[in-house]
């Protein structure tokens, strides 16, 4: 066998090595009466050195050869046959996570780079791995800037002011021409210092998010004002690639070129105090400059009485068409003059847009929207331009939350439950009444399915629900086919009982009761009143008979109550989950 030849081969190597070391091939003693022990020991030591030399050489050769063979074998592995472009994309996907700290991010890169020399070389030479300068320590700033080569950068203003102003921003602002995304979350007191780093052109900038806040301003109150503009122009009015812009607590004149060509715009906590700030309705013209706008957020924008009067008397500009808008979100305090109302009345948005309105009031005042259109335009068949998506809404949820919050949400079933409308109110007293008053006539809808829900009606702190408010709402929506009450009061459900002078929801076919305190006899009384003629179909007065009743988690209703309704409609009673 081959293994039997190995000792002979090794012995040959030893003999050759020994010969090359001392030119001796024999250890036999010379003929003599006495042995020369020193010479014998010398011969033995020579042979031992020869063996050790051979062993070290074989070991070194074996290690080298095995490493070479392993390297060659690894090159034949499928993953190592991938082009570097694909491999780097895989690595980028592995380490990409906006929630990672810079240390975790670098640790992931290090783990990948220790797999092989080629992987390490590729990671160090691939610039895309070194373009995120968010929250990096001082020792890594220059490393990232160098390894990122000339690729676009992602930067953010560090929270530690001393580090930001003296170390981080001076270094990264020198590369402002490479910025792709800039995020700044800082105090308003540092505004001028921050702006000083943002005065050079940003030809690669695609997203800019600036949020300035003050420790002495109530949440929702304006932080920025056109009365105190900063000196200079952001990015020297030269950011042609800018597509996403957030200005929260920072006033930038609406004539700025930064507003042109956007796909996302958010303006928040800004006060327009000077009348010239809104000359010729500049906000509308700003929107007109971004016809591909997909997201628009207007939060807590304030105007003075002077500006509001100008908006009311000037000739209305042409309507702005935003055919790509997916989300329109407007938030405000009830007390402020609301420029957003005016905007909503003068823009055209797609029917599939999601309209989000949020109003906060800290007094028991009547809330209203100030649309610059005649009341006759607020009818379901012809909602005004800003609200044309309401015609698609067939499902509506009315939710009473904690801390004086009330919310209406409208969506389209069958289209992945596409949400089209959200109106949220925070009012100190009777939020449900205020919500109903805002829904009609300002936001006309014809829902076929309505859900009334409360955060926990069984809790003693749950708000009282007025029967008259529910009656008024249901009277305005005769198209309802399905009603669901979730953790709602018995009084609200009892209004559905047909009376000689009141027949609410005449097309109602399905009634769902979930976690409500209503008793079996009370529910049966409501259901029986809606049954009408014994043969089913349509009862007197043209009302459709109730056909389905679903009860879940109602301790006052049990299976014992079902026999009284058998044969009249489908009844499903489930225990609480």
Mind listing the pLDDT tens digit for each residue in 182-225? 999 988 888 998 999 999 999 999 999 999 987 665 555 667 88
pLDDT exceeds 50 at position 382:
no
What's the pLDDT band for 21 if we cut at 50, 70, 90? Answer: low
Question: pLDDT tens, 150-163?
Answer: 999 999 988 777 77
Structure tokens at 112: 């990948």
- 412 by DSSP, 3-state: which? strand
- Per-residue model confidence (pLDDT) at position 401: 85
> Which run of H or of E encompasses 157?
none
Highest mean pLDDT among 67-71, 369-373, 461-465: 67-71
Q: What is the mean pLDDT of residues 75-80?
A: 74
pLDDT of residue 284: 83
What is the pLDDT, as a whole number, of residue 379? 33
Could you give the CA distance from residue 233 to residue 120 in angstroms, rounded to a whole number? Answer: 43
| pLDDT at residue 39 is higher than 90 | no
Question: Which pLDDT band, with edges at 50, 70 and 90, does 343 fall under?
Answer: confident
The secondary element (H helix, E strand) that includes residue 209 is strand 207-213
Is residue 337 pLDDT above 70, yes or no?
Answer: no
How crowded is the C-beta side of 50, counted as CA atoms within 13 Å? 22
pLDDT number for residue 216? 62
Structure tokens at 86: 């694909």
pLDDT: is 58 or 453 the higher one?
Answer: 453
Is the pTM above the cut of 0.85?
Answer: no
Distance in angstroms between the alpha carbons of the first and the last residue of the chain? 75
Three-state DSSP at 328 gives strand
Q: Is 274 within 8 Å of 305 (Cβ atoms)?
A: no
67-76, 117-126, 235-244 — most confident range = 235-244
Instruction: Retrieve residue 281's tokens.
Output: 């309705």
158 Rama sector, left if φ>0, alpha if ψ -120 to 50, beta otherwise: beta
**For residue 115, what pLDDT is reported?**
84
The span from the CA of 414 to the CA of 521, in Å, is: 36
In this model, does residue 555 exceed pLDDT 50? Answer: yes
Rounded to an integer, the average pLDDT of 410-439 is 80
Provide the β-strand partners of residue 423. Answer: 357, 408
pLDDT at 106 over 80: yes
Average pLDDT over residues 474-484: 93
Q: Where are the beta strands (DSSP E) in 98-151?
A: none
Q: What are phi and psi of 299, to 5 degrees?
A: -120, 125
Q: Which of 250, 335, 236, 354 is nearest to 295 (CA)?
A: 354
**DSSP H helical segments within 23-83, as ranges?**
37-75
Residue 315 to residue 312: CA distance in whole angstroms:
8
Output the CA torsion 172→174→175→177 (10° steps).
Answer: 130
State phi, psi for 336 to the nearest 5 degrees.
-90, 155
Number of H helices, E strands in the chain: 16, 19
3-state secondary structure of 557: coil
**What mean pLDDT is predicted for residues 69-92?**
79
Max Cα–Cα distance, the chain, nearest Å: 145
- Residue range 295-326, pLDDT digits in tens: 999 888 877 654 444 444 444 456 788 999 99
Q: CA angle, 566 as apex, 561 and 570 as ends, to 5°?
A: 100
Cα–Cα distance measured from residue 161 to residue 71, given in angstroms and rounded to the nearest whole number: 50
CA separation for the pair 520, 448 (Å, rounded): 26
Cβ-contact 553, 576 below 8 angstroms: yes
CB 341 within 8 A of CB 312: no
Q: What is the pLDDT of residue 277?
A: 46
What integer pLDDT is reported at residue 183 of this predicted model?
A: 94
Answer for the pair 354, 321: CB distance below 8 angstroms, yes or no. no
Q: Cα separation of 200 and 175, whole Å?
A: 10
Rg (CA), the chain: 39
Higher local confidence (pLDDT), 445 or 15: 445
Rounded to an integer, what is the distance from CA 144 to the centroid of its chain? 27
Q: What is the mean pLDDT of the chain?
A: 79
Q: Find tokens 């009485």 and name the residue.
A: 305
Distance CA 573, CA 575 (A): 7
CB atoms within 10 A of CB 278: 23
Q: How far apart are CA 28 and CA 210, in angstroms?
A: 93
Per-residue pLDDT at 241:
96
Whole-number pLDDT of residue 221: 60
Q: At what angle do helices 84-95 and 117-125 cross, to 10 degrees?
A: 80
Tokens of 174: 């020198």
């Amino acid at each position: 066998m081959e293994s039997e030849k190995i000792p002979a081969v090794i012995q040959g190597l030893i003999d050759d090595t020994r010969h090359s070391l001392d030119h001796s091939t024999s250890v036999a003693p010379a003929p003599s009466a006495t042995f020369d022990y020193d010479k014998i020991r010398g011969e033995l030591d020579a042979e031992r050195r020869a063996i050790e030399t051979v062993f070290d050489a074989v070991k070194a050769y074996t290690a080298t050869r095995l490493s070479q063979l392993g390297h060659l074998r690894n090159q034949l592995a499928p993953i190592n046959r991938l082009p570097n472009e694909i491999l780097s994309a895989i690595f980028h996907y592995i380490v990409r996570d906006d929630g990672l700290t810079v240390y975790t991010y670098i640790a992931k890169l290090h783990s990948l780079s220790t797999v092989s020399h080629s992987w390490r070389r590729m990671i160090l030479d691939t610039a895309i791995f070194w373009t995120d300068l968010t929250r990096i320590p001082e020792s890594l700033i220059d490393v990232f800037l160098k390894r990122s080569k000339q690729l676009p950068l992602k930067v953010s203003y560090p929270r530690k002011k001393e580090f930001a102003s003296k170390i981080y921003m001076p270094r990264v602002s020198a590369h402002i021409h490479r910025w792709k995304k800039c995020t700044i979350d800082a105090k308003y007191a540092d505004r001028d210092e921050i702006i000083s780093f943002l005065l050079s052109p940003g030809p690669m900038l695609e997203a800019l998010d600036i949020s300035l806040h003050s420790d002495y301003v109530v949440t929702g109150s304006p932080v920025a004002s056109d009365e105190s503009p900063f000196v200079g122009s952001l990015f020297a009015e030269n950011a042609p690639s800018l597509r996403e812009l957030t200005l929260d607590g920072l006033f930038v004149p609406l004539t700025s070129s930064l507003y042109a060509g956007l796909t996302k715009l958010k303006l928040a906590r800004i006060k327009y105090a000077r009348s010239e700030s809104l000359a010729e309705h500049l906000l509308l013209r700003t929107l007109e400059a971004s016809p591909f706008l997909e997201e628009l957020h207007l939060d807590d924008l304030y105007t003075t009485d002077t500006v509001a009067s100008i908006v009311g008397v000037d000739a209305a500009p042409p309507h702005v068409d935003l055919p790509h808008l997916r989300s329109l979100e407007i938030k405000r305090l009830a007390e402020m003059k609301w420029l957003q109302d005016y905007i909503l009345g003068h823009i055209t948005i797609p029917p599939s847009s999601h309209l989000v309105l949020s109003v906060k009031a800290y007094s028991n005042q009547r809330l209203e929207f100030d649309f610059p259109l005649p009341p006759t335009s607020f009818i379901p068949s012809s909602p005004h331009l800003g609200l044309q998506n309401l015609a698609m809404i067939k499902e509506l949820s009315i939710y009473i939350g904690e801390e004086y919050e009330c919310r209406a949400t409208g969506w389209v079933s069958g289209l992945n439950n596409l949400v089209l409308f959200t109106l949220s109110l925070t009012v100190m007293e009777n939020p449900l009444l205020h919500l109903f008053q805002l829904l009609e006539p300002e936001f006309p809808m014809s829902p076929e399915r309505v859900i009334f829900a409360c955060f926990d009606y069984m809790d003693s702190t749950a708000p009282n629900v007025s029967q008259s408010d529910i009656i008024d709402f249901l009277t305005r929506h005769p198209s309802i086919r399905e009603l669901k009450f979730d953790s709602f009061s018995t009084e609200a459900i009892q209004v559905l009982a047909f009376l000689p002078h009141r027949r609410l929801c005449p097309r109602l076919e399905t009634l769902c009761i979930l976690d409500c305190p209503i008793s079996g006899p009370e529910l049966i009384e409501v259901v029986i009143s809606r049954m009408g003629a014994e043969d089913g179909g349509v009862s007197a007065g043209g009302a459709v008979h109730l056909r389905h009743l679903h009860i879940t988690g109602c301790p006052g209703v049990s299976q014992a109550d079902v026999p009284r309704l058998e044969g009249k409609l489908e009844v499903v009673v489930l225990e609480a989950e």
